[in-house]
Structure 1
Amino acid sequence: MWVKKRSFYVTAIIFIFAVAIAVVFSLCTQPETKTPPTVTPGEKLEKLTLRWGSSKEGTAGYAIFFGVAKIISEKVPELYIEAVPTAGSIASQRMYAKGELDGCYAGLWNLVDVYQNRGPYEKEPWPKDRPKPYHTWYVYTADSFVVTRADRDDIQSWEDLRGKKVYIPIPGSAVYEVPKAAFKAAGIWDDIEVVDIPFSAVPDALRSGTIDAAVPYVISHSSPAPWVKELATRADIKVVNPTQEQIDAIKKAKIKGMSTSWVSTKETFPEKDVGTDKIFMVSTYYGFHTGKNVPSEYIYRMVKTLIENAEEVSKTHAVAKLYAKDPLKLQIEAIDSAPDIPVHPGTAKYLKERGVWKDEWKIGEE
């Protein structure tokens, strides 16, 4: 009898000890939640270190933000940014949502995903206990348009894409979803056949007629993706623009996270004749964003520094040249294309200071 009791006590002690270890391990492996410093207006700021997601190594987003982190460390001594490489916009947002980052790299299209629980967030919405990223700072655009083979007289506008095979790159990404939304608004999405092939196969597929058209993308109007450069070199192409009726329909749709523009062909293809002087582009915006976890005064100083030192930002990567031309305009266009998303209070303070704030915009909670 005594042996049984002893065995019971030993088993109970081991069980309690195991549970205690599990609880301690669970607490230790939770992402650290920082308590942001309390900031009183006019008070000297404490030194704040932020882990901020960038994009993949070798990309424009990666190069820009590592350069930006250096600019901030030199000009805003109370703020240190540790630029953290991530797999891209969605991956960076996911890490921010888990508390692994203090700020994220994100395309505006994906910010709209967060707020509308669509796309990657349809089945796995943003955690209710984590701050959502606000409009904070934008630095470049991703711009899509349509091309076909130069001798395709049967394709003169988007209207002629009905019944045709069209290559749109990277399903699920913004450079797929943005032109898809534009094609839907133009009334042709259900009448085209979307083809998915490797980048390297696009020039030969277009030349042979395996595909009838393609949707290339460039960054900030003038920096083609590598596969687009190859396409322009290996195939004789022409740009295909929508009809005015289709343009009107796209603008009327007011697609959140997307804007439209006419861009000079010389800006995109300076040494190639693509059959038109202007290209109709559908675009979204990319930048670096955070939420109420970072006090407004730090973001105010960061945004002020990056806008007022736009020339230095432009030296971080060629795609930031468009930003340098008018950095305020880029912020305004991005916010205007998704005005339901709150603006970070620090960004809002600076935009008000510059006299460009709009009453219809929203300021995020502190």
Structure 2
Amino acid sequence: MKYRLMAAIAGLLIAFPLGLSQIPTAEAQQVKQIRWATSAVGSAGHRAKVALMAMLNREMPDYSITVLPTPGALATVRGYATNQFDGYYGADIAFRELATDSGRFRGFSAQMQREPVQSFWAYTMEVGLGVRAADRERYSGWGDLRGRPVFSGPAPWDVRAQLERAMETLEVGHRYVELDLGLAASSLAERNIDAFIIYSTGESNPAPWVNEAMTATDVAALNPSEAEIAKLRAAGLDVVEVDGSVFRNARVDKVVLVPFFYGFHVGLEVPEEDVYRKLMTIEANAAELAQSDSAFRQIAADMVGIQRRGVAASVDSVKVHPGLARYLREKGAWDDAWNDRIASR
């Protein structure tokens, strides 16, 4: 009898925790899942999103973020708009094309089920041009590439879209040549192209393939002329100077590049309070993020400034999440001219 009683008690002790594990707690039911799409594994966007996810999952336990790699940032914006993802990796140049039904988004508006909004700007990417070092003195600016063969980047990439936008602004009617990234250096050396795109992230990190190409052959950065810089700025395009030492063999003290903004965004499905809290959490942990990935150095140095600049660059194309608007208002960085661009359901 004694042994039967002990066995029954033991059975209850085993069954009871098993039964509890099958009953979802109120806390577990309140955790919100975010399927956050970014670019391909190995890309700057994927690396940065993984670092951001790790911090947010730790600091905001009421959310559970899963990173979903895709072929590229463009696919994430399309995927969000068609209800495939909850978060996306969006650039201001992509939002501009989406808003104007042009470029890579031409005809896409008919497929949209919801509109993206902007909610967090993570860093800039900056685009420019490299030419054969032996020919560098022949060029006075980008305009001298008119009619010449240029690899401005892979066709679907945002960096190419931004460089093409800048060159179009300057009326540089070049001939686009599409290449595999690994062929850029040899194509330049063999004179199959006269220039190729060079670019960096956060004004400090060139794409690995760009540095490899600049090491494999003699390349020099080609800066736009002073008149071209003025024309770009007059058209609303920002221009920055990056230290020449950032690139291998740039052969100039300062490389003049045209930046655009990348962000990890969510839509109105995430409430204002939660987006505001997310931004405050990112600000509080920006130094840690910068240690995890140097792309976040810009927000570690000036989180508010990057958000304001990102909004200014894209506000005409995409509305602002009310959580981001609240954050900028509290920081004294909101422009009242943007009031009618705050998104609402």
The two structures have a TM-score, normalised by structure 2, of: 0.84
Deviations 1:247-267 (A, max 9, x none): 12112222xxx532122213x
Contact map agreement 2:72 2:157 (CA 8 A) in 1 = no
Identify which of 43, 49, 66 aligns with 1:65. Answer: 49
The match for 2:32 is 48
The match for 1:215 is 197
Higher share in helix:
2
SS of aligned partner of 1:65: helix
Alignment of 1:138-217 (within 5 A): 138-152=121-135, 153-189=137-173, 192-217=174-199
The match for 1:351 is 328
The match for 1:24 is none
Q: Alpha carbons of 1:350 and 1:54: their partners in 2 closer, same or farther (altered >3 Å)?
A: same
Identify which of 224, 236, 239 aligns with 1:242. Answer: 224
In 1, Cα distance between the equivalents of 2:305 and 2:94? 21
Does 2:270 correspond to 1:298?
Answer: no
Identity across matched positions, percent: 28
Note the residue ranges of structure 2 that are not aligned, 5 or more in a row: 1-29
In 1, Cα distance between the equivalents of 2:185 and 2:47? 29
Q: Alpha carbons of 1:150 and 1:156: their partners in 2 closer, same or farther (altered >3 Å)?
A: farther
The match for 2:9 is none
Q: Alpha carbons of 1:300 and 1:312: their partners in 2 closer, same or farther (altered >3 Å)?
A: same
Identify which of 243, 253, 256 aligns with 1:264. Answer: 243
Note the residue ranges of structure 1 that are not aligned, 5 or more in a row: 1-45
In 1, Cα distance between the equivalents of 2:62 and 2:179? 49
Aligned letter for 1:244?
A: E
Deviations 1:39-67 (A, max 9, x none): xxxxxxx5432222122122222222222
SS of aligned partner of 1:329: helix
In 2, Cα distance between the equivalents of 1:69 and 1:240? 37
Contact map agreement 1:52 1:104 (CA 8 A) in 2 = yes
The match for 1:253 is 235
In 2, Cα distance between the equivalents of 1:138 and 1:195? 31
SS of aligned partner of 1:101: coil
Contact map agreement 1:186 1:247 (CA 8 A) in 2 = no
Q: Alpha carbons of 1:84 and 1:193: their partners in 2 closer, same or farther (altered >3 Å)?
A: closer
Contact map agreement 2:127 2:159 (CA 8 A) in 1 = yes
The match for 1:42 is none
Alignment length (residue pairs): 313
In 1, Cα distance between the equivalents of 2:275 and 2:336? 21
SS of aligned partner of 1:215: strand
Shift in Å, 1:126: 5.7
Contact map agreement 1:148 1:213 (CA 8 A) in 2 = yes
Contact map agreement 1:60 1:317 (CA 8 A) in 2 = no
Contact map agreement 2:290 2:300 (CA 8 A) in 1 = yes
Any runs of at least 4 consecutive aligned residues in structure 1 with deviations exceeding 4 A, and if so which?
none
Shift in Å, 1:352: 1.0
Does 2:315 correspond to 1:339?
Answer: yes
CA root-mean-square deviation:
2.1
User: In terms of mean alpha carbon deviation, does 286-295 or 202-211 score higher?
Assistant: 202-211
Shift in Å, 1:315: 3.0
Deviations 1:157-213 (A, max 9, x none): 213223322221112321111111111111222xx2222222222212222322222
Contact map agreement 2:261 2:310 (CA 8 A) in 1 = yes
In 1, Cα distance between the equivalents of 2:85 and 2:187? 42
The match for 2:116 is 133
Contact map agreement 1:148 1:155 (CA 8 A) in 2 = no
Does 2:94 correspond to 1:110?
Answer: yes
